[in-house]
Structure 1
Amino acid sequence: MTGRRDTRAVPIPRNAAGDVELSRVCLMIGQLGLGGAEKQVVMLARGLVDRGIETTLLLLSERGPREAELSGSGVRIVSLGYRGLTRPWIDLRGSLKDTAAAMRALGRLMTHLRRTRPQVFHAYLFHCYVAAAPAARLARIPVCVAGRRSLGTFKEGRRGLLAVERVATGMTDFVVANAHAVAEDALRQEGLPRNKIAVIHNGMEERDFRAVAPADLATDLPVVVCVANLRAYKGHQYLLDAVGRLRQWGRPCTLVLIGDGPQRPHLQRQADRLGIDVRLLGHRTDVGAFLARADVVVLPSLEEGLSNAVMEAMAIGRPVVATAVGGTPELLCDRGVLVPPADPQALAQGLHRMLTDRAAAALLGKAAREWALEHLSADTMVERHITLYRTLLEGGRAS
């Protein structure tokens, strides 16, 4: 870990009592798609502005559907115009064209930082935080924070990516993880000192806790809803096998899959082969209505950071069956049904229990909602970030 940088280029204002005045924050993420990390950065940006903090949201590549959520918020959005996000943008096998585009984006990033002079620069996800660290150092930004949102399995066996990340982490003042499992994974992979990382759980807004009208879904069967991109690591293939077992046990259900991805044709063929009722709805912006329609919400992931889909189900009191991976046990311990990953039999048993014992399902849903109201509010998430930023500006370390 390197020492703290010379920050004289960016004065740190203080009030009459001598306390740091946090006035300018810059956040950075790849784009504004419908993913969980994008939802959290949008929520944080709005929360900072609501508290009188000038906030800029830098996008490495392009905008996206979540931009509408920032309309009229006062958050300034700036795109750096990089178009190489089909793979991690620092990949030692990238073409010269990719590298040139990345360098242009890095140049625009540094120009922006030098012009706007934020006190805190907080970058989300690998391709952003490995660029943010050197840019912040060269632009002499007082505090650079890196956000860890998932387990680092994509880096395993890729020594180039690990080396780049470790160099960037050495230039970074602090790391924020969204789950204890994510923090422990970063400590193991990156060799971080424990006083350089803290956990701030994801947040949810008031509207996430409000009841909404259930989606109109034509079926007489119990409804099981899964919200996750259709990628192999999300474990949908095991979920379909589990639903096939439920059918064999005389407990058929309608499985609603919200999300899209390369596994879609494989899952459709698997559903046809198993003879189960699966509705592949693709990306949706009315997820809450389908969660409200669900008898059970399920997440069969093989790996996970901190699932926004699980949190949203908890917020409206839906019973959840999920695999015990990543940060999911932190959310569902004694408040949901946890099963091993890649185990369709255990997944089927968990779903069967929730679909059969409605009283137990209702109790778990109630406990999940009460815990979420206490621990997962957007206000709590925003205030914890502000406290962290101020502590770092004072030159301290968060515990």
Structure 2
Amino acid sequence: MARHENPRVDERRAKAPPLAKVCLLIGQLGLGGTEKQVVLLAEGLHRRGVDTTVLVMFGGGPRERMLHDAGVEVIRLGFHTRRDGRGRLPLNAAAFARLVGELRRLRPDVLHAFLYHSYVTAAPAARLAGVPVLVAGRRSLGDFKRGRRLVLAAERVATRMTDLLVANAESVAEDTRRGEGVPPGKLTVVYNGLPDTAFEPAAPAEIVTGAPVLLCVANLKRGKGHRHLLDAVARLGERGRPCTLVLAGDGPARPALEHQAARLGVDVRFLGGRTDVEALLARADVVVLPSLHEGMSNSIMEAMAAGRPVVATDVGGSGELLQGRGVLVPPGDSRALADGLERVLDDPGLAERLGARALDWSRAHLRADTMVERHIDLYTRLLAR
């Protein structure tokens, strides 16, 4: 894992003031991968004696209870999205003022913002509140920003006001360098982390079927490529390889996917959002992720920690995770996806080898403790500047 560190790291850290207070800013606390990493980071900081507060822009979510149970303070700021209807501009102005006020009250050493809306909001707020260090997370490729001048302009302004950008994959870092012209010293890479429980054996979930089980854990939205996966499953059926596809996740694409599954006549189980991913992984024969674009996939990481063979599209950080440890196929190509799945299903020895390699590598590189310690090191060095 690349670190991109300054050669005077040890000297600066030795002179650094103690890290006392950190605020993490995110849009909401749903079941997405970034939200999971925020919870793991907050819990890890809290366990190490760092006073940690999670600031939530738009609302709570299933992971909010996890933070409360861990003793981490959560503050909802009351920002409104476009779906909230008219009058959101004055409401968001009030929410921004509350963010500045909370930062002045809490007086964090570091404010770390995750995802686009959070870090473009955090930059001016941190400046107004006098926060010493501002860190922004880059969690995915910038495809959604291409050609959107106002979005890009706001991001560039925020980047100039930010002390450090933290990408979760080398591919995301390289995309950020190209897209924003960020100098090397302002950008580093920290892989996502997994809790120790991800590496522990789990009892399989009950999924009644006589066919091989393909599991995809991802939000049901266009960029995740589910429609290509359904086409691939239909192709497998035509080749005499019927499978049961289990989709864990929810989102706006669900109605269209349900219609597609009915039209194709394939066995698809729509489970909605789930928190028992370990049990689903224990039941799966193959884990598949057909994303059209991706940062560093938590679902692939979790599959690796469970020792499952993975077939995924070669986008974003997926290649970094699965090189030599999984099957990679081009994005948006249902035939190639079907070929990759068939290759693993037809060769149990290959499936076992891929799962074992993935487990060994994830144990060495993807533990949450490593992720938390890397962040503490970065925060401390930034405070020492």
Normalization by structure 1: what TM-score? 0.91
Matched, 1:122 2:119: no
Structure-1 separation of matches of 2:100 and 2:377: 26
| Equivalent residue number for residue 254 of structure 1 | 244
CA deviation vs aligned residue, 1:23-70 (integer Å, no higher than 9, x gap): 111111011111111000010000001111101110112111101212
* Matched-pair contact (CA < 8 Å) for 1:178–1:306: yes
Higher fraction of helix: 2
Residue type matched to 1:26 in 2? C
| Equivalent residue number for residue 48 of structure 1 | 45
TM-aligned CA deviation for residue 236 of structure 1: 0.8
Structure-1 separation of matches of 2:90 and 2:155: 20
| Equivalent residue number for residue 388 of structure 1 | 378
Residues 7-86 of structure 1: pairs in structure 2 closer than 5 A: 18-84=15-81, 86=83
* Matched-pair contact (CA < 8 Å) for 1:177–1:199: yes
- Alignment RMSD: 1.4
Residues 355-366 of structure 1: pairs in structure 2 closer than 5 A: 355-366=345-356
Residue type matched to 1:115 in 2? R
Structure-2 separation of matches of 1:376 and 1:345: 31
TM-aligned CA deviation for residue 86 of structure 1: 4.4
Structure-1 separation of matches of 2:271 and 2:69: 30
Report how many aligned residue pairs link the two structures. Answer: 372
SS of structure 1 residue aligned to 2:361: helix
Residue type matched to 1:113 in 2? L
Moved over 4 A (4+): none
| Residues 289, 55 of structure 1: alpha-carbon distance in 2 compared, 3 angstrom cutoff | same
Structure-2 separation of matches of 1:278 and 1:46: 36
* Matched-pair contact (CA < 8 Å) for 2:140–2:172: yes
Structure-2 separation of matches of 1:212 and 1:206: 12
TM-aligned CA deviation for residue 382 of structure 1: 0.1
Residues 247-326 of structure 1: pairs in structure 2 closer than 5 A: 247-326=237-316
Residue type matched to 2:66 in 1? E
| Equivalent residue number for residue 89 of structure 2 | 99
Structure-2 separation of matches of 1:355 and 1:171: 50
TM-aligned CA deviation for residue 165 of structure 1: 0.7
Structure-2 separation of matches of 1:72 and 1:167: 37
Match of 1:110 among 100, 104, 117: 100
* Matched-pair contact (CA < 8 Å) for 2:68–2:74: no
| Equivalent residue number for residue 367 of structure 1 | 357
Matched, 1:352 2:349: no
TM-aligned CA deviation for residue 190 of structure 1: 1.3
Residue type matched to 1:146 in 2? A
Residues 201-220 of structure 1: pairs in structure 2 closer than 5 A: 201-220=191-210
TM-aligned CA deviation for residue 265 of structure 1: 2.0
Residue type matched to 1:42 in 2? V
Structure-1 separation of matches of 2:163 and 2:180: 14
Residue type matched to 1:81 in 2? G
Matched, 1:336 2:326: yes
Structure-2 separation of matches of 1:108 and 1:251: 57
Residue type matched to 2:242 in 1? P
Normalization by structure 2: what TM-score? 0.94
CA deviation vs aligned residue, 1:125-177 (integer Å, no higher than 9, x gap): 11110011111111111100001111111111110111011011100111001
TM-aligned CA deviation for residue 192 of structure 1: 0.8
Which has the higher relative contact order, 1 or 2, with Cα contacts under 8 A spaced 6 or more apart? 2
CA deviation vs aligned residue, 1:194-228 (integer Å, no higher than 9, x gap): 11010100000001111111011110000000111
Query: Which consecutive residues of structure 2, in runs of 5 or more, have no partner in the other structure?
Result: 1-13
